[in-house]
């Protein structure tokens, strides 16, 4: 099988050494700088910040939502609302990762909630154009389908997993003005928690997520690819240690996405996971070197890049990145020397 690395355009790069069993993802050598100084290189692939991805820092600033639905709104949702009990008091639920606040406006019934594989009959309203969600009633399957690859899809899946049948809720995102979006869960089929799956089922689902992630990366969507790789890793992390070798590939590919998304700190952590299992992993060493350079840790960056060149002296990407690090180090030294001369005359 051809395992040549791919760049952000999906092209294969023959100058990188092949890793057995790995679908390598190749990065552009340019990376966003993170130190407050003027950036000298910018990623070739930029992703605009989405307010849905921001972390909630001050929930008190979110506008207080209505305590109950208006009478005509309740009638428009048919049997699901008719079976539900209106709330008597405010009921807020904060998503643990801070991505949104859920306001329950009509309480559902029962204790069960959607799980992996649950087919949910949902009504979505108020979502922005381009969210990929149809207005009105639709069916969404938790854990399956391309609808999960967009930012809104990820938020809706998290919300559905916290809802009971018949529940109607409003989602408020930090940093987003205007009326909150609304989600109604009319019904859902029984699903399973990840711990209820057989090991073979988890591995099969992880392979599907990995394959879809690689497709998205090649299509120029590192954000969607990162979500797929992260979901695959969550499935495999529940397996007994040491786990399948595919975890190494997923961490390495996730690091490639994180670099393109301007997240060098996370990319360095992902590379650490790879190098814990395979200390000589060329791709992980290179990507960690790029991440350390973006963070301003020039000595660490030089160490990783020199390790790459010690194994593969003709690795052009590592040569170019090391050259940039050396130039950046000289500029820092020159600036420090100039500052000392001014200080001591």
DSSP letters, 320-344, are HHHHHHHHHHHHHHHHHHHHHHHHH
Token pair, residue 161, equals 């997993």
Copy the structure tokens of residue 230.
């992260």
Q: CB of 78 within 8 A of CB of 113?
A: no
Under the banding of pLDDT at 50, 70 and 90, the label for residue 286 is very high
165 pairs with which residues across the strands?
109
203: alpha, beta or left? (left if phi > 0; alpha if psi -120 to 50): alpha
Q: Cα separation of 345 and 340, whole Å?
A: 8
CB 217, CB 257: distance < 8 Å: yes
H helix or E strand, kind and range, residue 123: strand 119-125
Tell whether the torsion through CA atoms of 229, 234, 235 and 241 is positive or negative: positive
Q: What's the pTM value of the predicted model, to 2 decimals? A: 0.60
Query: What pLDDT score does 337 carry?
Result: 63
Both tokens of 146, joined, read: 């391309």
Is the fold of 52-188 the same as that of 196-344?
Answer: no
What number does CATH give the domain 196-344?
A: 1.25.40.10
pLDDT digits (tens, 9 = 90+) for 165-191: 999 999 887 777 777 788 999 999 988
pLDDT by residue (tens digit) across 90-138?
588 888 777 788 999 999 998 899 988 889 999 988 877 666 666 778 8
Using pLDDT thresholds of 50, 70 and 90, give the confidence band for residue 4.
Answer: very low
Closest C-alpha to 102, from 170, 163, 52, 152 = 170
Q: Is 201 exposed, middle or buried (0-12, 13-18, 19+ CB in 10 A)?
A: middle
Per residue in 6-25, pLDDT (tens digit) is 443 344 444 444 444 444 56
Are 287 and 255 in contact, with CB atoms under 8 Å apart? Answer: yes
Give the C-alpha separation, 232 to 319, whole Å.
Answer: 33
The two tokens of residue 1 are 């099988």
Other Cβ atoms closer than 10 A to 159:
22
Residue boundaries of the structural domains of the chain? 52-188, 196-344
Model pLDDT, residue 181: 85
pLDDT of residue 270: 96
- Bridge partners of 107, per DSSP, are 85
CA-only gyration radius of the chain, Å: 24
C-beta atoms surrounding 87 within 10 Å:
17
Q: Over the stretch 36-83, which tens digit does the pLDDT of each residue have? A: 443 333 233 333 334 333 333 333 433 333 333 333 333 333 333 444
Q: Is 101 helix (H, G, I), strand (E, B) or coil?
A: strand
Decide: 145 and 68 in contact? Cβ < 8 Å.
no
Mean pLDDT of the chain: 75
Q: Can you give the pLDDT at residue 336?
A: 65
So what's the architecture of 52-188 in CATH?
Roll (3.10)
Preceding amide of 242 cis, omega within 30: yes
CA atoms within 13 A on the CB side of 157: 21
Q: What band does 84 get if pLDDT is binned at 50, 70 and 90?
A: very low
**pLDDT at res. 334:** 66
Instruction: Tell me the angle at which helices 246-260 and 282-294 cross, rounded to the nearest 10 degrees.
Output: 30
User: Which comes out higher in pLDDT, residue 135 or 292?
Assistant: 292
Q: How far apart are CA 26 and CA 3, in angstroms?
A: 11
- Angle at 49 (CA atoms; ends 237, 287), nearest 5 degrees: 50
Token pair recorded at residue 284: 């992980």
**Per DSSP, what are the bridge partners of residue 181?**
171
pLDDT over 80 at 313, yes or no: yes
């Amino acid at each position: 099988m051809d395992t040549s690395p791919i760049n952000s355009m999906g092209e294969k790069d023959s100058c990188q050494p092949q890793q057995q069993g790995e679908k390598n993802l190749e990065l552009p050598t340019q990376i966003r700088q993170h130190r407050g100084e003027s950036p000298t290189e910018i990623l070739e692939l930029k992703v605009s910040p989405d307010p849905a991805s921001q972390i909630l820092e001050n929930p008190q600033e979110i506008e207080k939502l209505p305590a109950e639905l208006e009478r005509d709104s309740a009638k428009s949702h048919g049997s699901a609302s008719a079976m539900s009990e209106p709330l008597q008091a405010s009921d807020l639920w904060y998503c643990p990762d801070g991505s949104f606040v859920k306001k329950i406006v009509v309480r559902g019934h029962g204790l069960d909630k959607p799980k992996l594989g649950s087919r949910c009959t949902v009504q979505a309203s108020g979502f922005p154009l381009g969210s990929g969600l149809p207005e009105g009633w639709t069916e969404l399957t938790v854990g399956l389908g391309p609808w999960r690859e967009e930012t809104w899809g990820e938020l809706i899946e998290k919300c559905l997993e916290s809802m009971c049948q018949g529940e109607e809720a409003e989602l408020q995102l930090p940093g987003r003005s205007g009326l909150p979006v609304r989600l109604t869960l009319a019904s859902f089929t029984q699903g399973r928690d990840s711990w209820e799956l057989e090991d073979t089922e988890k591995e099969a689902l992880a392979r599907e997520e990995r394959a879809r992630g690689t497709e998205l990366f090649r299509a120029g969507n590192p954000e969607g690819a990162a979500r797929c790789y992260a979901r695959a890793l969550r499935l495999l992390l529940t397996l007994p240690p040491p786990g399948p070798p595919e975890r190494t590939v997923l961490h390495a590919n996730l690091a490639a996405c994180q670099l393109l998304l301007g997240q060098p700190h996370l990319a360095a952590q992902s590379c650490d996971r790879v190098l814990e299992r395979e200390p000589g992993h060329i791709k992980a060493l290179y990507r960690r070197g790029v991440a350390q350079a973006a963070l301003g840790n020039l000595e660490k960056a030089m160490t990783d890049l020199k390790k790459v060149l010690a194994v593969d002296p003709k690795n052009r990407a590592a040569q170019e990145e090391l050259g940039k690090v050396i130039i950046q180090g000289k500029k820092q030294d020159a600036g420090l020397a100039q500052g000392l001369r001014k200080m001591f005359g």
